[in-house]
Amino acid sequence: MLVHARRSLIVALLLGALAAPAATAIPRSTAVGVLSAVPGSTARNAATPTPTPKVTKRALTAKQRAAQQRAAAQRKAAAARKAEAARRASAAKRAAAQLAAGGFVTVDVQDRVAMPAWTGTTLDGAAWSTASLRGGVTVVNLWASWCTPCRQEWPELQAAATAHPDVHFVAIDSMDDANAARDFLVQFPSHAVQVSDPRGVVMASFTTVPNRSLPITVVLDAKGRISAWRAGPVTRALLDRAIAAA
């Protein structure tokens, strides 16, 4: 009897186990979520990283392009400064050689400056200004009746003026007595406009010329800028070359 009862219980238990529905598997993500909600769970203590803002590929490319352009501009400016320094050094070397050779010192176009502004009168008493020295090549000669080298170069200046009728010639009588200058011109006539500068203001203003002693001859281009200069007596041949280079 007891054995029969035990067998019935075992059969019932087996039938109940077969009738129960199969356990549903819990997804891993759901399990993690469940665990994170449980106090003291390991998932809750895991640090969650903060999203880092990302620069888009397009914006990054634009920044790189801007940096490259700045670097290129800096390289270009540095190269330009180097070239300009080399050019000026070459010009200074050329000027030294021209001085040593006894010729005119020529000035590069980009380095030319205007003749210092000045207003005065001619030996005849007419008003005169450096503003009139534009519109054509001009030869400006600073001289004085007491200056021996000035007297020596005078025939060369007159020969050049005759050979270049399209060139303006201006002679500035510097630190001289006007009557003495007029007496000199009676003996040695000139084609140049004669300007009186008894105080030597024009000569003192020629900072381009390092050796400011008479005579000084300056050639101006059509814009009134100094294209060549010489401290010392000139010759017709020297003037011809300086005029052609203006």
Which CATH number covers residue 166?
3.40.30.10
User: Cα(37)–Cα(44) distance, rounded to whole angstroms?
Assistant: 7
Reduced DSSP (H G I as helix, E B as strand, rest coil) percent helix, strand, coil of the chain, to 5? 50, 15, 35
CB 130 within 8 A of CB 193: no
| pTM to 2 decimal places | 0.65
Length, in residues, of the chain: 246
What pLDDT score was predicted for residue 122?
A: 95
Q: Would you say residue 111 lies in a domain?
A: yes
One digit per residue, the tens of pLDDT, for the chain of length 246 reads 444 445 555 545 445 544 444 444 444 444 444 334 444 444 445 556 666 655 555 666 888 888 888 999 999 999 999 888 888 788 778 777 887 777 899 998 988 999 888 999 999 999 999 888 878 999 999 999 999 999 999 999 999 999 999 999 999 999 999 999 999 999 999 989 999 999 999 988 887 777 678 999 999 999 999 999 999 999 999 999 999 999
- Greatest extent of the chain over all pairs of C-alpha atoms, in Å: 173
Of the candidates 244, 99, 227, the residue with the CA atom closest to the CA atom of residue 160: 244
DSSP state of 235: -
What confidence score (pLDDT) does residue 57 get? 56
Domain that holds residue 231: 105-245
Whether residues 142 and 185 share a domain: the answer is yes
Last residue of a domain, one of 52, 86, 101: 101
Q: Given this model, what pLDDT does residue 90 score?
A: 80
H helices of the chain, in order, are 2-19, 28-37, 42-45, 57-101, 148-163, 178-187, 201-205, 236-245
CA distance 239 to 235: 6
**Do both 113 and 97 map to the same domain?**
no
User: Do 140 and 195 share a structural domain?
Assistant: yes
Per-residue confidence (pLDDT) for residue 34, from 0 to 100: 38
* Together in a domain, 71 and 178: no
pLDDT of residue 208: 74
Q: 43, 76, 101 — which closes off a domain?
A: 101
- Tokens 């054509």 belong to which residue? 136
Sign of CA dihedral 70, 73, 75, 77: negative
**Which pLDDT score, from 0 to 100, does residue 41 have?**
47
pLDDT score, position 211? 67
* Domain identity same for 161 and 184: yes
**Nearest Cα residue to 181 out of 167, 191, 166, 171:** 171
Number of domains in the chain: 2
Task: Let me know whether 86 and 208 are in one domain.
Answer: no
Question: In this predicted structure, what is the pLDDT of residue 52?
Answer: 61
Look at residue 43 and tell me if it is in a domain: no
